[in-house]
Amino acid sequence: MLLIPCPHCGLRDEGEFTYGGPARTLPALDQDTQVWRDAFFAGQKPPGPMTELWYHTSGCESWIEVTRDTATHDILNSNTPQSKVDTP
């Protein structure tokens, strides 16, 4: 059971969160199919640190970015999300 450091609420149990997958840049809406496919059908990063999104469902209802080592489950960092927009 992971202990996830929510930047707003502090260390909280995994059970309070909903997983949101690897953090990825949402392409601008007018980008073409290929750009969206590359963004959404990107493969698995190799074992090691990976930045991903978690939603603090039973807490502050914020999306947070967590950097977690997928080989060890160690959590290296957590943040409020940065802007992911390519073009406004």
Partner 1 sequence: MTRLPQGGLIDRTQTLHFTFDGEQMSGHPGDTVASALLANGRHLVARSIKYHRPRGIVSAGLEEPSALLTVTDATGSTPNLKAPEITLRDGLQITSQNNWPALDRDAGALLALGGKTISAGFYYKTFKWPRDAWHKTYSKIIRRAAGHGQVDPSTNPALYDKRHRKCDVLVIGSGPTGLSAAITAAQAGATVVLVEQDSDLGGSLLQSADTIDEMPAREWAKDAADALRTLSNVIVMPRTLAFGQYDHGLVQAVETPQSGSASTSILWKIRAQRVILAAGAIERPVVFPSNDRPGIMLANAVRTYIRRFAVAPGRRAVVAVADETERRDTMAALQEAGIDVVAALQPGDKITKTTGRLHVSGISWRGANGKRHSARCDLICMSAGWMPTAHLFAQKGVRLSFASETQSLRPPQSDGPMRPTGGARGVLTTADCLADGKTTAHQVLAELEMHKHLNLNQPEATPAPAQGFQTGPGKAFVDLQNDVTRSDVALAQREGYCDIELTKRYTTLGMGTDQGKTSWTNGVLEIADITGANPETIGHTTYRPPYSPVSIGALIGAEVGNEMVPTRRTPFHDGFERLGCVFQTSGDWLYSRYFPTAGETMMQAIKRECLATRNSLGCVDMSTLGKIDVQGPDALEFLSRLYCNAFAKIQPGRLRYALMLREDGYVFDDGTIARLAENHYLVTATTANSGSVWRHMQKMAQVDWPELDVTLTSVSDHWASLAIAGPNARKLLTALAPDFDHSSEAFPFASVREGLLGGDLPVRVFSVSFSGELSFEINTPAGYADALLTRVMDLGAEWDITPYGLETLDVLRIEKGHLSIGTEIDGRRTPADLNLGGMVARKKSFVGGALLNRPALQQTDREQLVGLQPEDGETSIPYAAHLSQSELDSKGQAPLCGHLTAAIESPILGHSIALGFLENGQERMGETLWAHSPIAGKSVRVRVTSACAYDPKGERLHD
Partner 2 sequence: MAYSGLSLLSHALTGNKRWPAILSTPDMRSSYDIVIIGAGGHGLATAHYLAANHGITNIAVIESGWIGGGNTARNTTIVRSDYLLNSSFGLKNFALKLWSDLTQDLNFNLMYEPRGYVDLAHSDGELEHFTLRANAMRLRGGDADILTGQALQERVPELDFSGDKRFEISGALVQESGGVVRHDAVAWGFARKASTAGVHIFQNCPATGFETEGGKITAVQTPQGRIACKQAFISVAGASSAVAGMAGINLPLNSINVQAFVTEPVKPALDAVVNYNAGLSYISQTDKGEFVLGGATDGYSSFARRGSFERIEDVLARAVQMFPFLTRLRLMRHWSGTADIPMDGNAIVGRTPIEGLMINAGWGYAGFKATPAVGWCMAELLATGKTPDLIAPFALERFETGAEQDDGGIGPYPWLH
Do residues 7 and 78 make contact, with C-beta atoms less than 8 angstroms apart? yes
Determine if 14 is a binding residue for partner 2 (CB under 8 A): yes
Measured from the CB atom, the residue of 41 and 82 that comes closer to partner 2 is: 41
The entry of partner 2, partner 1, none that residue 85 binds, CB within 5 to 8 Å by partner kind: partner 1
Phi, psi of 63 (to 5 degrees): -80, 135
Question: Using the rule CB under 8 A, is 44 a contact of partner 1?
Answer: no
Residue 16, SS3? helix
| 78 SS3 class | strand
List contacts with partner 2 (CB under 8 A): 1-2, 14-15, 19, 21-22, 37, 40-47, 50, 52, 70-73
